[in-house]
Amino acid sequence: MEIESITVQADYCFGEQPLRLGDLKKVNFIFAPNGAGKSTISSMLARQPSDAAQRATWDVARTNLPIRVFNEAYRSRVLTERVNGIFTMGDTSKTINDEIDALKDEIRDRTSKRNQWRIEIGPGSDDKAPKGLLGDIENYRVAARKSIFSAHKDIDESVVPLVFEGFRNNQDKFFNEARKRFGEIQSLNSEVDWEPIKTRAQSLSSGKKIRVSLPDITTVSLISADDVAEVSSKSSHGQGGKFAELIQHLKNEDWVSKGRDYVDEAQGKCPFCQNQAPANLEHDLAQYFEGGFDAALQGSLKIESAVKLVAAKLEGEISALEIALSEDTEVEEEEFSPAISRVREAAKLLLAELRERSAHPTQPITVSDVDGVVSELAKLVDDENEKIEQHKQIVENASVERGKLVADGWVAFLSGTAVSNELKKLNGIEAKKQKEITGLRTKITESEHEDALANPKIDDLQKSISNTSDVADKINKLLKAMGFHRFSLSSAGDSSGGYRIVREDGSPAFDSLSEGEKSFICFAYFWESLFGSEVASGVPEDVVAVIDDPISSLDSDALFMIAAYIRDAANLAIKGTTNLRQLIVLTHNTQFHHEAAYTADRKSKQRRYFRLVKDLDGFTTVRDDEYKSKIRGSYPLLWHSVVEAAQTEDESDLVRVGVFNIVRRILEGYFKTIGNVKDFDRPSNASPIEERVVSQFHVWANSGSHTIADDIDQTIDVGRTKDFLRLFKQYFDVQGHGAHFDMMVVASDGESLLESDQLFARL
């Protein structure tokens, strides 16, 4: 893979924050003045680890490709009396070369596919921005982790500390435990309810305290079935005597029966009307009631008394239960209170009904026993005693029970619909993606095996045609083409395969070379090394080339030649037809930058441009120009300023004075350079002020800008800058150089100004 970003830490140059060049492409140009950090960057890249695995994780520039750096340190290392040999392919056998090329193309194609497959697999959780299939798995895993960790917070707080102990402060640890246990319960298909877990958790939380069983409710009924039948039936009696007809008519036998108790105390008077009582009143009344009323009354009173005794026993049991409930802090008393109240109310109702029966012993009544509500209360007691017994077992065997509680708690949590669905979905996605990943990794392994078979074949073919003289011939031809005739490269003639720099007579020439000659031969050597191998019969490996200011001490011809080579290298890197995979060029020379970075394809997205700029604090920062270079020479910059002034609505004094001085420099520099400034006729339809301005242009074009005519700056009113620029265009037209004016305006992104309704339009 090529370098995507470069990060260089150098406090003395870039400050506390490292310099970062991001989103690098196949071809990258970095322009910077001297002292801005070019050498620091190239020197750091030259320190790339030799181990391929370390290269891929290197913080400065991650790439599995070796980085070849051309800089001052490279020149010092290579330009010695003896130059290390470079072995490369010769042209001895076209058939063999074609076969080698075909094998290399196949290797390169397989390498490209492997890189694509690795991209599809993607980096996983260790990468800051997971991508590909592993990234898909990681992204969903992170979402599931967050969701499942949040879900445990909705569980009753009474069980959370016990069940999830040791996992609550770490999402990853919690999620991993959840996935492990989910796999186990899937095989068991277990389901557990939370309620008993909460009860058991409370028992464990209470420490070693043993709870006492609640007293049982043994009295489940207050009245027998026979007594119920007795009070619900009507009692009959003889109803004889002389008062029978009257009592039956008035229907007040209960009242009359009560009055019998007062006969003896009435002292001869009637207890009912207080008149003189008949002589046989007591006998006559007894005669009426002796038929069964008295027996019914006694029976009713007996039943009422018996029920009172049983009710008192029941009340005692209830009171004992209430005392036990108040002493057990684990019991929810509010569950018992309504049931106890219902039992007491039922007992009161039954006694009230029996009192009513005793008041009217011959009348049938319907009574309700307490067995139903007592059974409810007894059931509560039994259930609580069962919990108490479970609590006792848990406390007595706490360590084992705690483990069971944790296991059951996880099962209950993971069996919940939302959590279960989330984990099932994650497992499904992971299984599907892993299957795809396994398939791609199998392809990668097979592809690497094919490379392992192809490389020995290339080695065998390479041995028959590799030699050092081929490289020497190429460099010598380049030297002659550039006019370096006083020296050449010669094979060392020994097993080391090295070169010597010699004169025409064979004498050593290294010590007498100029700095420019050394620089050029060093670049030529570097160029050939990019497409060769450092060992005999070796296979040229894919490389990243970094070239730092290769034009030091060179004349203009050599500058153009090296720039042409770099343009070729850029095209080769973009096409991907050679082992040159990526190119990075650093320079401070504007002319060289323009020459080397030139391309007809100005919309290419495979080229990237950066500038290094020193801020006021003396540290270097990066300006990212993206896909279009913003480096210009002095002359284009002047025209760029003219176009900006023409496009801006700002007509301040600063803009006005600035543009006048810029126009002076353009006229003086352009017309004095090309010469041939001819006189001209007065512009037609020009005002006196406009005529004076155009005439002043002529002075500037001939004599320069430092004349008394500088006062022209004060003669143009604010708001007349656009008119001044229009006359500037008109002066180029009358001199016959209107095409140059148009060209420079277009080159400065001002093409729209030449349209028919714009400032520089021609009538």
At 132, give phi and psi (nearest 5°).
65, -160
Q: CB neighbours of 506 closer than 8 A, spacing ≥ 6? A: 490
Count of Cβ atoms closer than 10 Å to residue 711 Cβ:
8
Mean pLDDT taken over the chain: 77
At residue 163, φ and ψ (nearest 5 deg) are -70, -40
Q: What is the pLDDT, as a whole number, of residue 684?
A: 64
What pLDDT is stored for residue 714 in this prediction? Answer: 43
Which token pair is 14? 């870039």
**HSE-up (13 A, CA, CB side) for residue 177:** 20
Q: What pLDDT digit, counting tens, does each position of 230-248 carry?
A: 777 765 554 555 555 555 5
Q: Where are the domains of the chain?
A: 1-66+541-631, 91-191+415-465, 225-394, 634-754
Over residues 471-512, the pLDDT tens digits come to 677 778 877 776 677 778 776 554 334 567 777 777 777 677
Q: Quick: pLDDT tens for 287-332.
A: 555 555 666 667 778 888 888 898 888 888 888 888 888 887 777 7
The least confident of 73-82, 653-662, 711-720 is 711-720
* C-alpha to C-alpha distance for 741 and 730, rounded to whole angstroms: 10
Report for 52-56, 82-86, 435-439, 596-600: range of highest mean pLDDT: 435-439
Amino acid 528 reads E
- The answer to whether the CB of 621 falls within 8 A of the CB of 66 is no
3-state secondary structure of 67: strand
pLDDT of residue 494: 45
Name the CATH superfamily for 1-66+541-631.
Answer: P-loop containing nucleotide triphosphate hydrolases (3.40.50.300)
Identify the pLDDT of residue 91.
36
> What Å distances lie between residue 608 and 28, 68, 584, 722, CA to CA?
5, 19, 9, 36
The more confident residue out of 111 and 598 is 111
> In the numeric block, which tokens belong to residue 59?
């913080």
pLDDT > 80? residue 402: no
- Backbone torsions φ then ψ of 259, nearest 5 degrees: -70, -20
Share of residues in the chain with pLDDT > 90 (%)? 11
Q: What are phi and psi of 584, to 5 degrees?
A: -130, 120
> In this predicted structure, what is the pLDDT of residue 229?
79
Distance (Å, rounded) from C-alpha 627 to C-alpha 606?
A: 8
Q: What is the dihedral of CA 649, 653, 659, 662, to 10 degrees?
A: -160
Residue with tokens 């006019």: 483
Nearest to 728 by CA among 754, 698, 708, 751: 698
Helix, coil or strand: residue 582: strand
Q: How far apart are CA 566 and CA 415, in angstroms?
A: 66
pLDDT attached to residue 86: 44
Q: What percent of the chain has pLDDT over 70?
A: 74
Type of residue at 741: F
- pLDDT band for 191, please (50, 70, 90 cuts): low
Q: Could you write out the DSSP letters of every residue in 179-208?
A: HHHHHHHHHHT----HHHHHHHHHHHHTTT
Q: Which residue did the predictor score with more confidence, 317 or 525? A: 317
How confident is the model at residue 464, as a pLDDT?
Answer: 52
CA-wise closest residue to 282 among 258, 256, 263, 255: 263
pLDDT of residue 537: 47
β-pair type (19-21, 6-8): antiparallel
Residue type, 99: E
pLDDT (0 to 100) of residue 93: 39
Q: What local confidence, expressed as pLDDT, does residue 90 receive?
A: 32
Three-state SS sequence of 15-56: CCCCEEECCCCCEEEEECCCCCCHHHHHHHHCCCCCCHHHHH
What pLDDT band is residue 204 in, cutting at 50, 70 and 90?
low
User: Quick check: 419 pLDDT over 80?
Assistant: yes
Amino acid letter, 116: Q
Q: What is the pLDDT of residue 60?
A: 92
**pLDDT > 60? residue 264:** no
Tracing tokens 């520099």 back to the chain, one arrives at: 669
> How many angstroms separate the CA atoms of 151 and 416, rounded?
10
535-544 mean pLDDT: 68
Would you place residue 439 in the very low, low, confident or very high pLDDT band (cuts 50, 70, 90)? Answer: very high
The pTM assigned to this predicted structure is: 0.45
Nearest to 204 by CA among 446, 390, 20, 455: 390
Full DSSP string of 715-743: TSPTT-HHHHHHHHHHHHHHTT-HHHHHH
- Report the pLDDT value the prediction gives residue 703, as an integer from 0 to 100: 65
Give residue 546's pLDDT band: very low, low, confident or very high (50, 70, 90): very high
Strands 543-548 and 620-626: unpaired
**Other C-beta atoms within 10 Å of 314: how many?**
23
pLDDT of residue 278: 66
Q: What pLDDT was estimated at residue 617?
A: 77
| pLDDT score recorded for residue 34 | 82
Phi, psi of 430 (to 5 degrees): -60, -40
Higher-confidence residue of 156 and 495: namely 156
pLDDT at 416: 76
Q: How far apart are alpha carbons 426 and 428 in whole angstroms?
A: 5
> What pLDDT score does 443 carry?
92
Question: What is the per-residue pLDDT across 13-55, written as a single tens digit (0 to 9) for each?
Answer: 888 889 999 999 999 999 888 888 889 999 999 999 988 888 8
Give the pLDDT score at 446. 92
Spatial separation of the C-alpha atoms in residues 38 and 21, rounded to whole Å = 12
pLDDT of 214 > 90? The answer is no
Give the rounded distance of the alpha carbon of 313 from its chain centre.
72
Question: What DSSP letter does each residue of 91-111 carry, written as one string?
Answer: SS-HHHHHHHHHHHHHHHHHH
